Amino acid sequence: MEIIQTDTGRVAIIGASGYGGLQLVRLINEHPIFKIASLSGERSAGKYWNEINPFIKIAEDKEITTCNIDEIVKIADYAILSLPNGLSSQLTPLLLENGVKVLDLSADYRFSSLDKWKQVYPTEASKYPRFDYELCEEAIYGFSEEFSKEISNSRLIACPGCYPTSSLSVLIPFLKQGLIESDGIIVDAKSGTSGGGRSPNDQLLLSECSESIKPYGVIGHRHAAEIESISSRFAGHELNLQFTPHLVPMVRGILSTVYARLRDPGLTAEDCKIVLEAYYNNQPFIDILPVGIYPATKWVKNTNKIMISVEVDKRNGRIVLMSVIDNLLKGQAGQAIQNLNIMHGLESDIGLPKITFYP
Amino acid sequence: MEIIQTDTGRVAIIGASGYGGLQLVRLINEHPIFKIASLSGERSAGKYWNEINPFIKIAEDKEITTCNIDEIVKIADYAILSLPNGLSSQLTPLLLENGVKVLDLSADYRFSSLDKWKQVYPTEASKYPRFDYELCEEAIYGFSEEFSKEISNSRLIACPGCYPTSSLSVLIPFLKQGLIESDGIIVDAKSGTSGGGRSPNDQLLLSECSESIKPYGVIGHRHAAEIESISSRFAGHELNLQFTPHLVPMVRGILSTVYARLRDPGLTAEDCKIVLEAYYNNQPFIDILPVGIYPATKWVKNTNKIMISVEVDKRNGRIVLMSVIDNLLKGQAGQAIQNLNIMHGLESDIGLPKITFYP
Amino acid sequence: MEIIQTDTGRVAIIGASGYGGLQLVRLINEHPIFKIASLSGERSAGKYWNEINPFIKIAEDKEITTCNIDEIVKIADYAILSLPNGLSSQLTPLLLENGVKVLDLSADYRFSSLDKWKQVYPTEASKYPRFDYELCEEAIYGFSEEFSKEISNSRLIACPGCYPTSSLSVLIPFLKQGLIESDGIIVDAKSGTSGGGRSPNDQLLLSECSESIKPYGVIGHRHAAEIESISSRFAGHELNLQFTPHLVPMVRGILSTVYARLRDPGLTAEDCKIVLEAYYNNQPFIDILPVGIYPATKWVKNTNKIMISVEVDKRNGRIVLMSVIDNLLKGQAGQAIQNLNIMHGLESDIGLPKITFYP
Amino acid sequence: MEIIQTDTGRVAIIGASGYGGLQLVRLINEHPIFKIASLSGERSAGKYWNEINPFIKIAEDKEITTCNIDEIVKIADYAILSLPNGLSSQLTPLLLENGVKVLDLSADYRFSSLDKWKQVYPTEASKYPRFDYELCEEAIYGFSEEFSKEISNSRLIACPGCYPTSSLSVLIPFLKQGLIESDGIIVDAKSGTSGGGRSPNDQLLLSECSESIKPYGVIGHRHAAEIESISSRFAGHELNLQFTPHLVPMVRGILSTVYARLRDPGLTAEDCKIVLEAYYNNQPFIDILPVGIYPATKWVKNTNKIMISVEVDKRNGRIVLMSVIDNLLKGQAGQAIQNLNIMHGLESDIGLPKITFYP
């Protein structure tokens, strides 16, 4: 495939100072097609990028500005929003009206029902008045492997949460094909601390998190609603599941250990592996591991990969699915660029890392 | 309670060089009643303890020797064995015959059926010929809170595995009282690397484990059999469950996140907390946390505590139980000393730490 | 020594919410002589200690209050201040006037000259107007091993900084005896993140600090002035030295690697070890390691110990001194309790941990 | 520059199983010019690469074989040796005689005098008899930035050690120009654990290394001799210095903090920064940071960069130089590829990462 850099791949990054923004800058800076049109960020407004990020210097240095939509619509074809929940919804309509396509990293458009969003994000709902019901319906859930066709035709992508990306990657193939019971599914998820962001936070100090693991948001975590919402689509009916996130003393990475019951208890781990391989055939970012090889989050660190393994307990037909991602790449900014590639008519894997440096 | 040091509290530590041994030396050295009678260890035989362990100096330095049972029976009232599985069974009968009471940290006497043990530990069974069926039946499973009466009358204690200690602490109260379904229980457990021991091991290098979490032994881990065996006793029938251990980038600590279905889906988290409080009433090492407070492994580091929290998903009557321990103390050497206290007629908590240094 | 609990060992902890406060509560709670009189802390005022610190429960729970000096002077014999620099000086005079002895963990009384303090802490000096020149002169620098006699007679102890404690422990013996050149001394120090405190701070997030080491405050760190000030006293003349602190991805611990030139280049490492042993003869918290054994910070974690090792480069008469401490204990709260013991006429090591749990 | 893949860029990797080998495979696999000709490794011989390294899959899978020089000379233009010290010298002559150019990651050719090598590596010298005096003289020390011309004309490159790469990067500019005293230089270096390799090793277990920092090899570390040897060349006379390595609880990265005395004490930090910028003008892998910005090892993780900062203590004319690298890339395999690029007549930075993923 020939690669031609055009004027139509100009990307505004709104919310450049957080960890999501850092990844976006890092990826677009080296991307053969896209260019950074502008960098917006409250925290660092007025400073030059390379001055405050000497570890991620960009080729053409830029001043970080407060977000100015009027300006952005003049110079950008795409905007990627890495903003707090609720705030995205205040900017997105304006961007779309002016012809800028939007990839939103927040949860604002992940539910096709705005009412559902208001229920899951009540604090944000009361802070930011929203009436964009139609945009919620229009937005495409940006799990790239599943919805690439819709993504390619869309102007508004709701990029999935980090936990949902990891969980759904193993749930969808089995739910869609009716291979597991939709009742009693358990997602035990483990994440590094970068999922909690870059803002000052005493709970995420190294002194607090190092040498410790703990559960949090045990019942009712907002990503549970997101996982249930998408899972229900594929199950064909409403389902609820247990989702327990845990904070792990590491920077990057999510491991989801997913437990369910096979409809046909005669299926072996090898069978289930074949199911996964068939489902994700030719997907450049998904690796199905041999039975008995279990993935470490480190295997996908700094890549846009998902690595998956499956086991079956022959005694009782229970299936254990394991899925690892880098929460900041496939779980956030990497998947956004993957979607951007698709929207732009490119191969989905252009400019995205596939192999980690180990160890 | 008055404390008098006697000549009957002499303890031989067999297998002093590993992490289990280190904890035993550390604890007995400062214990007001017990004294270290001898230190045996293959790796360090011939060296003096304080020379090779300048970070855990003992009051009266001792030479580490190869294990000599004839010598030990002359100078010790108790022997604590911190040895590889299978090897313990070769020494225990001799010690018992000579009147030395045994606390075994290996799995050799954790199953009342020797045949079951041979099935779960086939490699060890083929290496070490065993016919001590009766000792297997005689041995008391040393989960102190549950079996303190039996422990006080026993001469052979099979100290529980680290994962089983953590899991059983929350399973037993609910299984015994028939409050949860015995089918479909899931134990998702997370451990620090010290559980893998102190021997050279490329899989446990910091370079391999740091910045990563991974599952291992996903189906058929040997602690699964142990948890099932003890759980079945309390359920009143054979049960099987899912047990998935994970390796966490930290030194000490185990967190078990346990999922089950309530028989009475009307029970609330608050109800379940009260169940736990009632069950563990007055146990000095067990803390039931308020609903909504979830334990970090760090909260029990370097202590003999178990901290427990419980949640219920009102939508479906599913219960989530969380339990943290220090794998080397309550999960190993600390519980051995707790049992030793009980065997010796002391309060169970003498000489055992209850409060961590934080952070 | 017989231990009698009296009414004269009541200790007010002012600034209980930070890491220093946590250690103080932890230590006094289990101390055989002292009792917690009151707990003050801005961040947590109005809450009960055990509610917000379920990992360090105290025997008699107490409400944390905003600091009320009038109240404290009624119920306390001693006050330990774990407050930001500058703030201590606003409370200390009042406490002393009312007969409460003060142990201050801040830098406010570490310089016998208030003018020097104002020069080293200009921001604090402009925020908090100070005229307590005499108190600065009166205060005893609480490096327990060196000044125990003065401490026992004092009502105001300026507890040393964490870096100074570690550095001075090896510098003083050699400077005092004129064994090293006072020119060209280099202190390369490495600290865990807990030295940076418990407040929200994006620079101390696990995501930022893990998997990384970096220097900071390279020239002109405030602890450099403190080390120089005390070192000069022992050298008999003003000296200046290089002090470079580094942030290490761990919670607790400081290692100081100190470089100097021997006056007599014929001295061997063994000679220098003997110098140290003689100097610290019978000090319960100081271990001089055999030549060739170098200390890890882990060896003193959760203890009040200093472990020291020394090497000499025979080629050029240069000496390398290594000293490790737990920055929150010997480097902060532990040394405060050690001083409190001395002030109260007790053995200095009562109630202070000496042996770590390893690993 | 046009890039054409030819048949002359075939690279045999000898010692593929260690961390050095992993990096080499990772880098060459994605390199636009070079191809992996063969993979040799004792530990994994007989297995296929992708089977045992699912986290670093290569495009064309290869069997790992025991090293067969006869075979290698037929299929490779270059051999990169990632072997234990001493062993390299047994293979290198044979490879060179058969026209295969050699890049050696061991220390075998880092000293132009074989006798010096034998003195610094006595154990290896007694195990492997060596008489290749002329090769030692012929070999070029592969510090790419300094010796690129010699490298481009050489058939044997002794790639520098990790510590020397970091230290020399800041020492050479100042020694060569006579700006610092050559007496009294101190290198205080800090390394992650991956520098200790991938073999089973109880000293490098996460349980041992996590939450701790310690010095090792305090006087007489072998990299000290290497740093002194190369430094002496640039100083114009023999010098000796203090070199103290420390083990840091992290996987990758080296920070060297280097202390020296300026010949002209009037130079400022800004002056010294300009010296460095001028010296390393246009070097793609060297970043001189603004005065007051100090580098973290994380800033160069997974890159081939060196980041350098400098400070001067105006009071005494002492200079503090700080240099960070990724020990496995610029400190090992990355620099080897950089040298390979130069030998092959390419730009030195082809196929080498320059920007980290942060955090």
- Looking at the structure, tell me whether residues C18 and C132 fall in a common domain: yes
Q: Which chains would you list as touching D if contact means 3+ CB atom pairs under 8 Å?
A: A, B, C
Q: Is the dihedral of CA D220, D226, D229, D230 positive or negative?
A: negative
**Residue A157: beta bridge partners?**
A103, A140
Which residues in C lie closer than 8 A to residue A202 (C-beta atoms)? 198-201
Which residues in A lie closer than 8 A to residue C193 (C-beta atoms)? 205-207, 210
Which residues in A lie closer than 8 A to residue C210 (C-beta atoms)? 193, 206, 210, 249-251
- Looking at the structure, tell me whether residues A275 and A194 fall in a common domain: yes
Burial class (CB in 10 A: 0-12, 13-18, 19+), D197: middle
Distance in Å, alpha carbon of A260 to nearest chain B alpha carbon: 9
> How confident is the model over B62-112, as pLDDT tens digits?
999 999 999 999 999 999 999 999 999 999 999 999 999 999 999 999 999
> How confident is the model over A172-190, as pLDDT tens digits?
999 999 999 999 999 999 9
| D243 Cβ contact list (under 8 Å, min separation 6) | D163, D167, D187, D189, D221, D223, D224, D227
pLDDT band at A6 (very low <50, low <70, confident <90, very high): low
- Looking at the structure, tell me whether residues B192 and B62 fall in a common domain: no
Which residues in D lie closer than 8 A to residue C210 (C-beta atoms)? 250
Residue in A closest to B322 by C-alpha: A215
Question: What is the tally of structural domains in chain A?
Answer: 2
Would the CB atoms of B198 and D196 count as touching at under 8 Å?
no
Q: For residue B97, how many other CB atoms are within 10 A of its CB?
A: 10
Residue at D339 is within a domain:
no
Task: Flag whether pLDDT at B154 surpasses 70.
Answer: yes
List the catalytic residue out of A159, A162, A209, A272: A162
* D317 φ/ψ sector (left φ>0, alpha ψ -120 to 50, else beta): left
Among B54, B57, B359, whose Cβ lies nearest the Cβ of C293? B54
List the catalytic residue out of C67, C136, C159, C162: C162
The dihedrals phi and psi of D18, each to the nearest 5 degrees, come to -80, -175
Which residues in B lie closer than 8 A to residue C298 (C-beta atoms)? 55
pTM for this predicted structure:
0.97
Residue at B57 is within a domain:
yes
The pLDDT assigned to B1 comes to: 43
Q: Which chains would you list as touching B if contact means 3+ CB atom pairs under 8 Å?
A: A, C, D
The pLDDT assigned to C6 comes to: 54
Residue in C closest to D326 by C-alpha: C212
Residue in D closest to A27 by C-alpha: D357
Which residue among C138, C153, C181 closes a domain?
A: C138
Q: What is the CATH number of the domain that holds D117?
A: 3.40.50.720
Question: Strand, helix or coil at C79?
Answer: strand
The pLDDT assigned to D1 comes to: 43
Q: Which amino acid is at D116?
A: K
Task: Flag whether pLDDT at B4 surpasses 70.
Answer: no
Residue in A closest to B183 by C-alpha: A316
Would the CB atoms of D358 and A55 count as touching at under 8 Å?
yes
Distance in Å, alpha carbon of C55 to nearest chain D alpha carbon: 20
Residue in A closest to C328 by C-alpha: A207
Residue at A150 is within a domain:
no
DSSP-based helix, strand, coil % in chain C, nearest 5: 35, 20, 45
- Looking at the structure, tell me whether residues B119 and B176 fall in a common domain: no
Distance in Å, alpha carbon of B39 to nearest chain D alpha carbon: 21
Among A199, A200, A209, whose Cβ lies nearest the Cβ of C206? A209
Q: Check whether the bond before C54 is cis (ω within 30° of 0).
A: no
Residue at A246 is within a domain:
yes
Which residue among D86, D104, D138 closes a domain?
A: D138
The dihedrals phi and psi of B153, each to the nearest 5 degrees, come to -105, 5
- Looking at the structure, tell me whether residues A241 and A295 fall in a common domain: yes
Would the CB atoms of D359 and A307 count as touching at under 8 Å?
no
- Looking at the structure, tell me whether residues C111 and C198 fall in a common domain: no
Task: Flag whether pLDDT at A344 surpasses 50.
Answer: yes
Q: Tell me if residue B209 is catalytic.
A: no
Which residue among A84, A106, A138 closes a domain?
A: A138
Task: Tokens 């003003």: give the residue.
Answer: C238
Would the CB atoms of B219 and A322 count as touching at under 8 Å?
no
Would the CB atoms of D206 and B204 count as touching at under 8 Å?
yes
Quote the crossing angle between the two packed helices A222-235 and A162-176, to the nearest 10°. Answer: 20
Q: Which chains would you list as touching A if contact means 3+ CB atom pairs under 8 Å?
A: B, C, D
Task: Flag whether pLDDT at D6 surpasses 90.
Answer: no
Residue in B closest to A326 by C-alpha: B212
Q: Which token pair is B18?
A: 């590993």
Which residues in D lie closer than 8 A to residue A290 (C-beta atoms)? 54
Q: Which token pair is D63?
A: 């069997």
Written as tens digits, the pLDDT of chain C (359 aa) is 444 445 789 999 999 999 999 999 999 999 999 999 999 998 889 999 999 999 999 999 999 999 999 999 999 999 999 999 999 999 999 999 999 999 999 999 999 999 999 999 999 999 999 999 999 999 999 999 999 999 999 999 999 999 999 999 999 999 999 999 999 999 999 999 999 999 999 999 999 999 999 999 999 999 999 999 999 999 999 999 999 999 999 999 999 999 999 999 999 999 999 999 999 999 999 999 999 999 999 999 999 999 999 999 999 999 999 999 999 999 999 999 999 999 999 999 999 999 999 99
Distance in Å, alpha carbon of A94 to nearest chain B alpha carbon: 39
Q: Among C88, D314, C87, A237, which residue's Cα sits nearest to residue C79?
A: C88
- Looking at the structure, tell me whether residues D184 and D43 fall in a common domain: no
Would the CB atoms of A19 and C202 count as touching at under 8 Å?
no
Instruction: Find which of C210, C214, C216, C325 to mutate to test the D interface (most D CBs within 10 Å of its CB).
Output: C214
Residue in A closest to C194 by C-alpha: A207
Cα C106 to chain centroid distance, Å, stands at: 9
Q: Which chains would you list as touching C if contact means 3+ CB atom pairs under 8 Å?
A: A, B, D
- Looking at the structure, tell me whether residues D179 and D323 fall in a common domain: yes
Would the CB atoms of B289 and C54 count as touching at under 8 Å?
yes
Distance in Å, alpha carbon of A259 to nearest chain B alpha carbon: 8
Residue at D307 is within a domain:
yes
> How confident is the model over A225-251, as pLDDT tens digits?
999 999 999 999 999 999 999 999 999
Residue at D2 is within a domain:
no
Q: Among C24, C15, C22, which residue's Cα sits nearest to residue C42?
A: C15
Residue in C closest to B354 by C-alpha: C56
> How confident is the model over B253-309, as pLDDT tens digits?
999 999 999 999 999 999 999 999 999 999 999 999 999 999 999 999 999 999 999
Would the CB atoms of C356 and B298 count as touching at under 8 Å?
no
- Looking at the structure, tell me whether residues B241 and B321 fall in a common domain: yes
- Looking at the structure, tell me whether residues C130 and C46 fall in a common domain: yes
Q: Does an H or E element contain C339, and which? A: helix C334-343
- Count CA atoms closer than 13 A to B72's CA, side-chain side: 29
Percent of chain D past pLDDT 90, that is, above it, reads 96
Residue at B129 is within a domain:
yes
The pLDDT assigned to C43 comes to: 85
- Looking at the structure, tell me whether residues A117 and A215 fall in a common domain: no
Among A186, A210, A255, whose Cβ lies nearest the Cβ of B259? A186
| A32 Cβ contact list (under 8 Å, min separation 6) | A3, A5, A350, A351
Among A289, A355, A359, whose Cβ lies nearest the Cβ of D251? A359
The pLDDT assigned to B232 comes to: 98
Residue in D closest to A17 by C-alpha: D358
Among D211, D216, D301, whose Cβ lies nearest the Cβ of C251? D211
- Looking at the structure, tell me whether residues A131 and A171 fall in a common domain: no
Distance in Å, alpha carbon of C239 to nearest chain A alpha carbon: 35
Would the CB atoms of C211 and D248 count as touching at under 8 Å?
no
Residues of D carrying an active site annotation = 162
Would the CB atoms of A193 and C206 count as touching at under 8 Å?
yes
Would the CB atoms of D207 and B204 count as touching at under 8 Å?
yes
Among A194, A204, A207, whose Cβ lies nearest the Cβ of C194? A207
Range of the domain at A253: 162-327
Which residues in C lie closer than 8 A to residue B290 (C-beta atoms)? 54
> How confident is the model over D96-142, as pLDDT tens digits?
999 999 999 999 999 999 999 999 999 999 999 999 999 999 999 99
Angle (CA) B341 B346 B348, round 5° = 55
Q: Among B19, B158, B148, which residue's Cα sits nearest to residue B102?
A: B158
The pLDDT assigned to C42 comes to: 87
Which residues in A lie closer than 8 A to residue C250 (C-beta atoms)? 210
List the catalytic residue out of B67, B136, B159, B162: B162
Q: What is the CATH number of the domain that holds D191?
A: 3.30.360.10
Residue B178 DSSP class: T
Which residues in C lie closer than 8 A to residue A201 (C-beta atoms)? 200, 202, 205
Among D54, D210, D302, whose Cβ lies nearest the Cβ of A357? D302
Which residues in B lie closer than 8 A to residue A309 (C-beta atoms)? 215, 218
